[in-house]
Amino acid sequence: MSAAATASIFEAAIPRLMHYVDFCNNGAEAAAAGKFLPLTVEGRAVGYLLPSFAQRLLEFPEVFQASSSSSSSTGGGSGGSPAAVAVNPALATQQRRTEAIARVLEQLRSEGLIEGWRNELYPAVQAFHDEPAFLIERAAAPYFGIKAYGVHINGYVTLPDGSKELWVAKRSSNKPTWPGKLDHIAAGGQPHGLSCMENVVKECEEEASIPPELAARAKPVGAVSYTSLQPAGLKRDVLFCFDLELPVDFVPQPLDGEVESFTRVSMPRLCELLTSDESLWKENCTLVIMHWLARHGYLTPDQKGYLELLNRLQSGDCS
């Protein structure tokens, strides 16, 4: 089925697709309402904290200090509570801040406050190419409300008639996060010290047994962003989108245990999976799929809601 013919199927689906956008941005209102305190380094906000977690951090005054004012504050400061939390200025270098915060995190981990330790460092930045204010364990990212980045790969094939089919992964039922949910062929958080393309190649090999020389054909095509509210805090994500056209006869295979199986689906079947049961999916992956659908002509300007959907795919701070 051609993209033009399939587009009519997706037109009716746009309101259902918007559900995923709403879900992934359920933290935007709370952030705008001032329910988080900025975490600042040298006056620059690099994260946002729930007040309860901010109070816990202030029990480590050698690392964190209360601030009575912040140009980046989203609220707070009333009733004697701090308007922001600042990393102690005596910690004057990235290395010193990283080491001091790591000691705090180890204490919080021992108390069971922070779980799902990954031994993977994320940079605390205002924008992707900034020099990190400090590096922090990935599991702590939502507690600190730092901006986190990832790479998400849409693996697809083009059939002889010109139609396309998308590879969809089913996550392992043993995964601690989103077990059994539908996902991309490969995706992963963007750790410090690795380029995006290096990360793409790594994730493709680890999750789908895609050879490095094949994974290296992936093309960067844009980004989506969102602000999600989680029990731990604010999840502020930017996902770099990559397209990887695969040979028709290539079949991905699970390797590292994170994926249970892969299925290649037609566009009508993809639409059915996206709209029949929203609980099937790891929700943020659907934003990257929508990005792919728009670029490959399955979502079009003549469809009602098209511009709103595209605009909201970058609802978060995409910098």
Q: What is the CA radius of gyration of the chain?
A: 21
239 vs 286: CA distance, rounded Å: 11
Region 53-80 average pLDDT: 74
- 0.85 exceeded by pTM: yes
Strands 233-245 and 147-158: parallel
CA trace torsion 148, 151, 152, 153 (10° rounding): 180
Strand partners, 259: 171
Phi then psi for 168, rounded to 5 degrees? -120, 130
**What is the pLDDT confidence band of residue 4, given thresholds at 50, 70 and 90?**
low
90 pLDDT higher than 50: yes
Please, which pLDDT band fits residue 61 given cuts at 50, 70 and 90?
A: very high
pLDDT class for 176, splitting at 50, 70, 90? Answer: confident
DSSP lists the bridge partners of residue 11 as: none
Q: Is the CB of residue 28 less than 8 Å from the CB of residue 227?
A: yes
Nearest Cα to Cα of residue 63 among 38, 96, 107: 96
Q: What is the DSSP letter of 314?
A: B
CB atoms under 10 Å from CB of 102, counted, come to 17
